[in-house]
Structure 1
Amino acid sequence: MRSLDLARTLTLPPWVARLVGRLPMWPPSRLLALVLNQVVRPHLAEDVIPAIDGRTLRVEVYDAGLRLDVVWQQGAFRPAAAGQSCELVIRASAWDFGRLLLRREDPDTLFFARRLCIEGDTELGLHVKNTLDALPADAWLSPALPAPVRQWLARHLLNTP
């Protein structure tokens, strides 16, 4: 079975989205901003920084009921203010985001299969995609991340013990 076929069946149960969707979104947005600052910020190209300055990005994990809003301000990713409009929305299932993070699936493949949705500012979307594509695989192994997280990522991203 191809991975795209398998992934259609791998979504979280609907009750997860109903439960998580009721929770405040600021703490997960703060966590995303912290991770982006540790993993992505050191690898940002100089020409990307002015293009993302003050711009708000939403990551929606639809089957988990998560909407994570971050903005680049004053040289760092920060959680966006509640109710702030987003200029770019990237939406997929938890499974598909995991496959993207682990580089087991190509974003273009998911996009054309209509399993990764990107809405909003096209130029900003290209900057985000190109930045993530340019990250070295071991970027997710930042020493600032807890050791168990680094070990799990090392096993799954780099196939190392």
Structure 2
Amino acid sequence: MSPSAYSFPAPLQKVLSKLPPYPGSVLFVAGLNLALARHLPPDTLRLLDGKKLRIQAKDAGVGFDFIWRDGSFSAARHTGATDLAISASVHDFLLLVQRKEDPDTLFFSRRLIMEGDTELGLLVKNTLDSIDLSVFSPSNLLPARLFGRKAG
């Protein structure tokens, strides 16, 4: 898919770029902890411990700063450099999450940018690639009683 297939609405970008980053980071890590944290291998979590991470949606004008510490992701207010910053457009992040686009393809076409610790970047990429997408299904994220199942 071409990078111009989707263009983030400029008026919405103007509004989002004015918001302070920390509250958004709190919401972002809540989602990470709910959907992702329990699926990450212990060796990966040890390597992530204390690392300053940033995800930035360039076209939306938003970024989320976070860190893995004390058994969960936490919102952070990074001052100075991060250990790893990953940026792309909202559309390209959506394509990645849906596995409709390969991260290597986006990286080599300069649509996905990773800055900082290369080894950490490869760890994050390979870990996310290894996760079964069904873990993000609403029925796996929300309480079983909402789907008529008994909690097990």
TM tier, shorter chain? 0.7 to 0.9
Give me the TM-score of the superposition, normalised by structure 2.
Answer: 0.85
CA offsets 1:35-61 (integer angstroms, 9 cap, x no match)? 111222111112111211010110000
CA offsets 1:63-82 (integer angstroms, 9 cap, x no match)? 11111111001010010125
Aligned length: 143
Task: Give the share of equivalent positions with the same residue, in percent.
Answer: 41
Q: How far apart, in 2, do the equivalents of 1:102 and 1:23 lie?
A: 27
Given the alignment of the two structures, is residue 66 of structure 1 paired with residue 66 of structure 2, yes or no? Answer: no
Give me the TM-score of the superposition, normalised by structure 1.
Answer: 0.81
Partner of 1:108 in structure 2?
Answer: 104
CA offsets 1:7-29 (integer angstroms, 9 cap, x no match)? 32412133332221111112221
Aligned pair in 2 of structure 1 residues 57, 146: CA closer, same or farther (>3 Å)? farther
- Which secondary structure does the structure 1 equivalent of 2:42 belong to? coil
Q: Mark the runs of 5 or more structure 2 residues left unpaired by the alignment.
A: 145-152
1:122-141 to 2 correspondences below 5 Å: 122-141=118-137
User: Which range moves more in the overlay, 83-92 or 109-118?
Assistant: 83-92
Partner of 1:76 in structure 2?
Answer: 72
Which 4+ residue blocks in structure 1 deviate beyond 4 angstroms? Answer: none
Report the AA paired with residue 138 of structure 1. Answer: S
Q: How far apart, in 2, do the equivalents of 1:105 and 1:135 lie?
A: 15
Once superposed, what is the RMSD of the aligned Cα atoms?
A: 1.9
Partner of 1:155 in structure 2?
Answer: none
Q: How far apart, in 1, do the equivalents of 2:80 and 2:26 lie?
A: 15
Aligned pair in 2 of structure 1 residues 31, 84: CA closer, same or farther (>3 Å)? farther
Aligned pair in 2 of structure 1 residues 28, 113: CA closer, same or farther (>3 Å)? same
Report the AA paired with residue 52 of structure 2. Answer: T
